[in-house]
Amino acid sequence: MAVVLVVEDDVFIRELAESMIQDWGHTILSASDVPQAMAHLRSSVPIDALFTDVYLKAEIHGGCDIARQAILMRPSLRVLYTTANRITDKLHTLFAVGTHFLPKPYTEDQLGISVRNLLAA
Amino acid sequence: MAVSDIAASDIVETVPSALLILDRNLNISSANRAFYQTFRTSPDETEGCLIYDLGNRQWDIPALRTLLESVIPHRASVEGFEVEHNFPTIGRRTMLVNARKIFRPGEHDGFILLAIEDVSEERAARKESNRNWQVTQSIVDTIRDPLVVLENDMTIVTASKAFLTMFGITQAEAYGRRVSELGQHQWDVPALRNLLDKVLPENRPIESFEIEDDFPGLGRRVFNLNARKIMQPGNHAHRMLLVFEDITDRKQRERDAELLTNEISHRIKNNLQVVVGLIAYEIKSTSAASVPGLKAMQARIGAIAQLYDLISQSSRGGSIAVDAYLNEIAKQMSASLIGDKSGIEIRVKAAPLAIDPDRAVPFGLLVNELATNAIKHAFPNGGVGHVLLAVEQVHDDIELVVSDDGIGMQGKVVQELPEKRGSDYVAIFVRQLGGTLTRPMPEGKGTTVRIRLPLLLLPAGGAAPLAA
């Protein structure tokens, strides 16, 4: 089973995603903004995957910034982005190479497929 | 015959310029044929006459007096002395006079040779050209958009006041410079250069080329560049008119609208995520029989949200391209096909039509219901199969066809509750769209549903599709 860092500024949406991921047997690390996420990433705790919202209130592309730094710190980290925003070509260019994406709103089944594919990649 | 054998008189009679020879007292010794023809006089009236007395004193011209009495005595020759005069016999004339003192060997006084060239027509044409140019420049200056006229080597011939203000330069500073050399060479853009290079040789106008920059006289602006070849009748030289349309305010409004649209879209979809999440919590604690209905509800909410991006673009006044719309539905549905359904492929075949944004949601939900039903009923045990979403124009109607190559109807009429409700939704959406639904028919292998809809779809080109 994997350790997944979930970064989401909406508490309800984050806790819902976390409970789903935990139901599948994975371990959860939780963050609601960039500093909290970076604190987890700088720690020695092993992290297999990052599931992050792109838009984090004050940080318009905060999730992209976290993912970019996270991959530099942990090159084997798998990344799954999500956002309620429209996916433009400009936003696509901010996604790190080899990462995955799941648009909002996602159901449990869709998140399940995305996490399974992410960890199998 | 050698050149030296040619008599001077022969040369004098041959040259096109009017020639006069005056003695030291300014009496006319002789004139050539060109003089007599140009000024409509004869040798009898001319020879021996004081030049000022010639033709009832019509040659008593102040400028000529100045030349003959004040300039010639001090110089051996004068060239290009311009004399303009209104001759009673031939009208107003502009003449270029060349004068030279001629001395024969042994003679002290000598003669004055006057060569008179009638440049009246040339001067009139030049005046007309200057007047036209002034009119053009006045028009250019009254146009609010900055514009320049370029030579075929891309140098500036003239620029409007608005253009000069924009770059903070004078007309003299603009003249002869290339557009690419203006400012800090920020207009030296290969894409623009390539377009400009084709305007004159290929007569290919530039309709719109957007460029955003900081300008000394204006600050940061966005301009739409338009360029076309201009030709002057009777003039083979071609020039280019380059107009800078200031679209800064329009661009800002578009950006503000896009920002607002994105913000609203973000909030709506986040809220829909909360709704989908609430249903997910219900699913955890509800009876197994209720789960399919709740999951179907999640899928419908997801369908609305996923289509929202396409629909929200139409809120800025455009329509939605049907093929892009159906492809988006197919993509999202395909992403949800898991387990034994993962072998099902959803295909799209759509005519180039655009959809009315007001009816995009029921149309999208209708397609979603029909495709969901096809996946569920045509392939109950999964496996490999295809679902086709097709839209085409049939006379004055639009036909939506959702077909599959699954197990077919097999005489089924009564359906379980969630599917029955799905069929109800289909009927409601069809009524909402003012269409008619044919009974699902087995056609070959599988099932085909055909729905005729009134012209809720507009021909592509009637409005700019935004969802391509």
Give the pLDDT score at A54.
Answer: 94
Q: Is residue A119 very low, low, confident or very high in pLDDT (cuts 50, 70, 90)? A: very high
* pLDDT recorded at residue B205: 80
SS3 sequence, A23-83?
HCCCEEEEECCHHHHHHHHHCCCCCCEEEEECCECCECCHHHHHHHHHHHHCCCCEEEEEE
**Among B267, B273, B336, beta carbon nearest to A105:** B273
Q: Which of A85, A57, A52 is nearest to A67 (CA)?
A: A52
Task: Tell me what pLDDT residue B465 has.
Answer: 39
Give Cα B288 distance to the centre of its chain: 63
Q: Hey, is B204 helix, strand or coil?
A: coil
Q: How far out from the chain centre does Cα B65 lie?
A: 59
Q: Provide the shortest C-alpha distance from residue A95 to chain B (in Å).
A: 18
Task: Compare CB distances from B270 to A16, A87, A104 and report the shortest one's residue.
Answer: A104
**Residue A84: partners with Cβ closer than 8 Å, 6 or more residues away:** A55, A103, A104, A105, B265, B266, B267, B268, B269, B270, B273
Residue whose C-alpha is closest to residue A28's, from A3, A58, A55, A65 = A3
pLDDT at B409: 67
Of B446, B438, B450, B440, nearest to B394 by C-alpha is: B450
CATH of domain B124-246: 3.30.450.20
Quote ipTM for the complex: 0.89
The tokens of B155 are what? Answer: 């140098």
* Alpha carbon of B261: minimum distance to chain A alpha carbons (Å): 10
Chain A positions touching B298 (Cβ under 8 A) are 107
Q: Give the SS3 label for residue B110.
A: coil
Q: In what order do the strands lie in the sheet with B18-22?
A: B28-31, B18-22, B111-118, B91-102, B77-87
- The domain made up of B3-118 is a member of CATH 3.10.20.580: no
Q: Write down the pLDDT at residue B456.
A: 56
pLDDT at residue B415 in the model: 46
| Residues of chain A found within 8 Å of residue B275, distances taken between Cβ atoms | 105
Q: Which of B98, B96, B154, B158 is nearest to B130 (CA)?
A: B158
Q: B251-459 adopts what CATH topology?
A: Heat Shock Protein 90 (3.30.565)
Q: Which domains does chain A have, with CATH numbers?
A: 10-120 (3.40.50.2300)
pLDDT digits (tens, 9 = 90+) for A21-52: 999 999 999 999 999 999 999 999 999 999 99
Q: Which of A85, A106, A102 is nearest to B265 (CA)?
A: A85
Going residue by residue through chain B, which has 468 residues, state the pLDDT in tens, using 9 for 90 and above: 455 555 666 777 777 788 888 888 888 988 888 888 888 888 888 888 888 888 778 788 888 888 888 777 777 788 888 888 888 778 888 888 888 888 777 777 778 888 888 888 888 888 887 887 777 777 777 777 888 888 878 888 888 888 888 778 888 888 888 888 877 776 777 777 777 777 777 777 878 788 887 776 677 888 888 888 877 655 666 788 888 888 999 999 988 888 888 888 888 999 999 999 999 989 988 999 999 889 888 888 888 887 777 666 655 556 788 888 888 888 878 877 766 777 889 999 999 888 877 788 889 889 988 998 888 888 887 778 999 999 999 888 889 999 998 887 665 544 444 455 556 888 889 998 888 887 666 666 788 899 998 875 554 444 443 333
Same fold, B124-246 and B251-459: no
Give the containing element (helix H, strand E) for B278: helix B248-285
- 3-state SS of B19-88 is EEEECCCCEEEEECHHHHHHCCCCHHHHCCCEHHHHHHHCCCCHHHHHHHHHHHHHCCEEEEEEEEEEEC
* Contact across the interface for A16 and B309, Cβ inside 8 Å: no
Rounded to 5 degrees, φ, ψ at B15 are -65, 145
Q: Do A87 and B298 touch (CB under 8 A)?
A: no
At residue B308, the pLDDT reads 76
3-state secondary structure of B122: helix
pLDDT in tens, A68-78: 999 999 999 99
Residue B6 has phi, psi (to 5 degrees) of: -80, 125
> pLDDT at position B417, please?
40
Taking only the tens place, the pLDDT of each residue in B239-266 is 888 888 889 999 999 888 888 888 888 8
Chain B residue with the nearest C-alpha to that of A8: B270
Q: What pLDDT does residue B287 have? A: 92
Cα A19 to Cα A9: distance, rounded to the nearest angstrom: 16
Determine the Cα–Cα distance for residues B127 and B264; give it in Å rounded to an integer: 64
Report d(CA B90, CA B39) in Å as an integer. 7
**Domain residue extents for chain B:** 3-118, 124-246, 251-459
